[in-house]
Chains A and B, each alone.
Chain A
């Protein structure tokens, strides 16, 4: 058995037990037995509840991400339009019209995709 000179710790995996045996033999064995006061729990885990909570947390995280993305895109769009208005107001109006026309049409498939993406397979 090899031990560290400074700390006295065992060097190898197998030394852990031999440390006990050689150093304090009976006393350590008794101490080891005395430490066995625990009985392993036999509690039934409520797995469905845990998974349900996890789904709620995931949904909240996803909503937060989407909200941040939505705000970022909205602000970028508005600032871009404001900047473009200085150059050519007619183009800005045309772009706005196109966006307001396309947005409701894009919303439905986006919502369907969003709903389909979060389900946990049974």
Chain B
């Protein structure tokens, strides 16, 4: 079993099998990130596919000071930004595949509650939302987020702080907490 560095090196020299493995191992991470960013499964799949395509085309530009998954997330961040510019869409919360509700009564409540949480996330500006998602759901360090988002660490800190305050305020306003 090859480790990530070996797989990347093999992929860089044109190894199709290595590329296959790298794509399959990281696709769900990228897709998960895209779903959290867009709140829409269909958009997320488009962006994840586009991200993977860009990664394959630019595999030779990959530098080993990044983790491969971080590099993919960085591409996904840029692809999502381009997607917003190109389509001029407002974020939609339709079609999000969240979690399996346990019973019928819970289903209605859960759906409403998930929708509210998603609304709060989507009401954040996308740069701030990206920072929050990377920290909260993926546990990236400030430094890694700064690299991914191409911004100073101070900006990451303030964006994250803004997000936490905003989310708590919104949840309080909606009487969720």
**Interface residues of A, Cβ cutoff 8 Å to B:** 4, 7-11, 13, 16, 19-20, 24, 27-28, 30-32, 34-35, 37-45, 47-48, 50-51, 53-54, 57-58, 120-122
Contacts and interface: CB of A to CB of B under 8 A. Distances in A.
Contacts of B45: 43
Contacts of A28: 164, 168
A51 B56 contact: yes
A13 B20 contact: no
Contacts of A42: 28
A37 B99 contact: yes
B136, B160, B177, most chain A CB atoms within 10 A? B177
Contacts of B141: 13
A38 to B, nearest CB: 6
Interface string B34-50: 01100000000100010
Contact of A47 (B23, B57, B118, B142): B23
Nearest to B13: A121
Interface of B: 13-17, 19-20, 23-24, 27-28, 31-32, 35-36, 45, 49, 52-53, 56-57, 97-100, 113-114, 117-118, 121, 135-137, 141-143, 154, 157-158, 160-161, 164, 167-168, 171, 176-177
A9 B160 contact: yes
A66 to B, nearest CB: 18
Contacts of B14: 120-121
B136 A35 contact: yes
